[in-house]
Every structure is written in structure tokens, then in C-alpha cells.
Amino acid sequence: MSLLLALILSPLFLGIIVRTKAFFAGRKGQPLLQFYYDLVKLLRKGVVYSSSTTLVFRLSPWLALATVGTALFILPLPGYSGWISFPGDFFVLFSLLGVLRFSLVCSALDTGSSFEGMGASREMFISFLAEPALLLSFLVLAFGLEGYTLKEILSHPFSIGAGRTVALYFISVSLLIVLLAENSRIPFDDPNTHLELTMIHEVMVLDHSGPDLAGILYSSALKLWILGSLWVGISIPVRWGIFYIDVLVFLGSMGLLAVIIGIIESILARVRMIRVSHALSLATVLAGLALLWTIG
């Protein structure tokens, strides 16, 4: 179920973000379903390969889709079990996202373009700072809840104990920062910019075209959905125990998250590249504080 929802609705999630931003900018905005149209359009196009690229470049979109698809099997609907569930499964989930990034970075380096090289180095720099915060957050939760599968962590995060709920707030903020950074949203990156020199994620896929680009865009949308549903699972712990109501609550929460992201993007300007590390250190520090709170 979680798999199907992600596959079907992740482009819509992006659509809601864009519409929220348009609202704040005083514009009407593109149709909610625009990303679906874009994907269909790209799938019908041909592919252009630069003569300097190799097999790595051609494989990367499909490797990206494959890793993200595998990750979806692990991702549970909050309160329920994923298709695959075992103690420590969140490590595998995050590693799969790491492989996704690895494949994109490889393909960017493969083009030999100075822009793409810069983008790759920035992407690695950001994820290198974001990953500790992400892992630390989930370790804290796992220890606090004494459950080591995603199902157990996301089922009842507030059963962590009355004195420890503050830790959850810290983790929630920390995860939101990581979510924005990992998915190249403002204030870390600007998905809409046309300025190559300031791009991070966008510049890495400049040379991809047609179905390849569709694959990459789709896997990015899925990645945003995965991190988004983890955030929702922890920050909005409303569980009825009735499956269909829980699904509706989850979808409502995802919609809310999209609006929140849209608002953040509207009221903040991008930070300077050099200050990205400060913002991400904040995420790690918050996760560290949560750890102290849980232990103490």
C-alpha cells in the first residue's frame, strides 16, 4: 500500500509545494498534475548522449530508480509494517538512498563538465553533513523506543516516555532540515534556478535528457516522498488503528508537509553555500541534544 501510494502520489506532492509557492508569490501557479505531464512528455522524447560519457552515465538513471524502488519496499505506512521489515531496516533504507546519490554523482562526474563536477562535489558535501543528523535521529528513536524496525519506531513515537517527548521535537526539526537539504529545496538549493553556478542537484542532471531525465526526476520525487513520510510518521503521530482512516490521516499529513515546505521556501532566501554547513550542523546538534535528553 505504502509502495503504491508513493509511486502514484509523489509527483503530486511536488505539485502541492509549487502551488503553495505560487500562492505566496501572488501567482496562479502551474497545474497540480504538471509533474505527471512532464514525466509523460520526457518519456516520449529521445535521448541525447554526450560523446564524452560512458556506460556509467547511461546506467545511472536506472540504478537510481532501482535503489529508490527497493527502498520503497522497506518504507512502511506509519503504524503498519513495510513489505520488508527487520531489525535495523532503517540502516538499509538510508544506505539505499546513499547508493542513489552515488549513482547520480558518478554520472555527473562521467560527463567531465566543470559544472557537473562542481554540483557533484556540493551534493556530496551536503549529504556528508546531513547523514549524521539523519542516522543519529533514528538511533535515538530506536534506543528510546527499544524497537529496531521502522514499523516499531513509526508506530507510536510518543510512547518514548513522558519525560522524553522534548527529544521528539528536536528530532522533528532536525529531520525537517535534513529533508530540505537532501532534496535540494530552499534554503539549501533552489530547484527552479537557471543559474548553473549556484545549482547543486539541478546541475548534476543537466546532461540527462528524455526518459533518462524522467527516471532521475521521478526517483528524486520518490526520495522526497520517502523522507517526507518518515518525518510525518514521527511528527504527526495520529493513529486510529483503522487502516483506511490511517491512510487518510497519512495523506492529509503529507499534504500538510508539502504546504509547510512551500511556506518555508517562500519566506526564506537561499543561504550562502559556505553557510550550508552551519544549518546542517544545527540539525546534527539537535539530534545530539535529543540523544542527551533520551539518555538522561
Q: Which residues bind another protein (CB under 8 A)?
A: 21, 24-27, 114-115, 117-118, 121-122, 186-187, 190, 192-198, 265-275
Complex with another protein: residue 81 or 121, whichever CB lies closer: 121
Residue 273 beta carbon to another protein: minimum distance, rounded to whole angstroms: 4
d(Cα 252, Cα 258) in Å, to the nearest integer? Answer: 10
Is residue 222 within 8 A of residue 67, CB to CB? The reply is no
The Cα diameter of the chain in Å comes to 61
Angle between the N-to-C axes of helices 243-267 and 210-235, in degrees from 0 to 180, rounded to the nearest 10: 110
Residue 22 beta carbon to another protein: minimum distance, rounded to whole angstroms: 8
Residue 188 beta carbon to another protein: minimum distance, rounded to whole angstroms: 10
Complex with another protein: residue 152 or 190, whichever CB lies closer: 190
Complex with another protein: residue 56 or 273, whichever CB lies closer: 273
Complex with another protein: residue 103 or 111, whichever CB lies closer: 111
SS3 178: helix
d(Cα 203, Cα 182) in Å, to the nearest integer? Answer: 15
Residue 18 beta carbon to another protein: minimum distance, rounded to whole angstroms: 11
Residue 186 beta carbon to another protein: minimum distance, rounded to whole angstroms: 5
Residue 121 beta carbon to another protein: minimum distance, rounded to whole angstroms: 8
Is residue 178 within 8 A of residue 134, CB to CB? The reply is yes
d(Cα 290, Cα 144) in Å, to the nearest integer? Answer: 10
Tally Cβ neighbours within 10 Å of residue 173. Answer: 17
Tally Cβ neighbours within 10 Å of residue 181. Answer: 23
Complex with another protein: residue 75 or 200, whichever CB lies closer: 200
Complex with another protein: residue 135 or 273, whichever CB lies closer: 273
